[in-house]
Structure 1
Amino acid sequence: MTTPPYPAPTTAELAVVSAQLGRQARGVVGIAARCSCGNPTVVATAPRLTDGTPFPTFYYLTHPAATAAMSTLEATQVMPELAALLADDEDIAAAYLAAHRAYLSDRVQFGEVSEIDGISAGGMPTRVKCLHALAGHALAAGPGVNPIGDLALERSSWSPERCRCDDPGAALRDAEASSA
């Protein structure tokens, strides 16, 4: 678990994130969670990108195996089941609202953007819209902060405790070596 502020990402870390995404990483202000091998799993992204675009998704899931696992959950219609919990369980709904507030508090440390004021990610605080964003927040904030993100991670085939990188740690080591 890490919390803002994050140290600026290294050139090597940005290279790994870009490779994970299959495109140039944009607006990364820190690595919010890592795989057990050290590779980035979740990045913290500036609330306004360098081109001026507002970007509400502060915690962005980048690990390919984790993103695939969340996509699988979304495809198997888990989101309506998790959304029903918000309507049926007052404690989960209250914790989800607290997660929304924590998310906004984390993001505002990197700037206030009026266009996204009060907007977090993943459908918080009243809907379940994107398990990728909710799992990213749960990984960055740690267990117990985002109940829906925690449940998505529990239901997924991926675990942050077990590395599923193609070559554990190699991406970061190679990127560090080439930037030295």
Structure 2
Amino acid sequence: MTRPPFPPVSDADLTVVRRQLGRPARGVLGIAARCVCGNPTVVATAPRLPDGTPFPTFYYLTHPAATAAMSALEAGHVMPELLAETQADPDRMAAYRRAHEEYLADRAQFGEVVEIAGISAGGMPTRVKCLHALAAHALAAGPGVNPVGDAALARSTWSPDVCACAPEESG
């Protein structure tokens, strides 16, 4: 089940993402997930940035409140718990491997980059390394695709169903 391509990214979206990140966004192909208010939450990023750098993180979390929530979970060392829960459940482990394959298939629609072949993000398919990347994938793909991303979102203080955008994030 592949999701891209995305509608063209607008200048207003890029302005919001620039504000969210505090820097210009690089290689944005589209908005993969949005806040309930319409602001970008996850951008889809080219597998090779404009400067030629390979970039495996296709789904990139930009929403400041979501990013802060994932950072708080990481600071609380939730990754080993999520990995242990995933490894203890064969069905969940299989779903995590499928999420990795789907992530690669989504990114491949925008070109193959030999330097990152087989590398997805967040530690998939065998580790839990970056909750930001896993949550971004879960938001972009929708519930039930990335079980670890879903679990991170469920444990976080941020909800994709409630706008937590700062007023200055509006385009």
TM-score by length of 2: 0.97
The aligned residue for residue 50 of structure 2 is 50
The aligned residue for residue 142 of structure 1 is 142
1:7 and 1:166 mapped to 2: Cα distance? 25
The aligned residue for residue 17 of structure 2 is 17
Greater mean alpha carbon deviation, residues 10-19 or residues 116-125:
10-19
Amino acid at match of 2:13: E
Amino acid at match of 1:37: C
Identity %: 72
SS at structure 1 position matched to 2:139: helix
The CA deviation at 1:171 is: 1.2
The aligned residue for residue 176 of structure 1 is none
The aligned residue for residue 171 of structure 1 is 170
1:156 and 1:6 mapped to 2: Cα distance? 27
The aligned residue for residue 41 of structure 2 is 41
The aligned residue for residue 105 of structure 2 is 105
TM-score by length of 1: 0.92
1:46 and 1:9 mapped to 2: Cα distance? 13
Greater mean alpha carbon deviation, residues 143-152 or residues 159-168:
159-168
1:22 and 1:132 mapped to 2: Cα distance? 17
1:137 and 1:87 mapped to 2: Cα distance? 19
Q: Which runs of 5+ in 2 are unaligned?
A: none
1:144-177 deviation line (CA, Å, top 9, x unaligned): 0000000000000000100001129x612xxxxx
Residues paired across the two proteins, number = 170
SS at structure 2 position matched to 1:94: helix
Amino acid at match of 2:9: P
The CA deviation at 1:8 is: 1.8
1:55 and 1:84 mapped to 2: Cα distance? 28
Give me the CA root mean square deviation: 1.2
Greater mean alpha carbon deviation, residues 82-91 or residues 66-75:
82-91
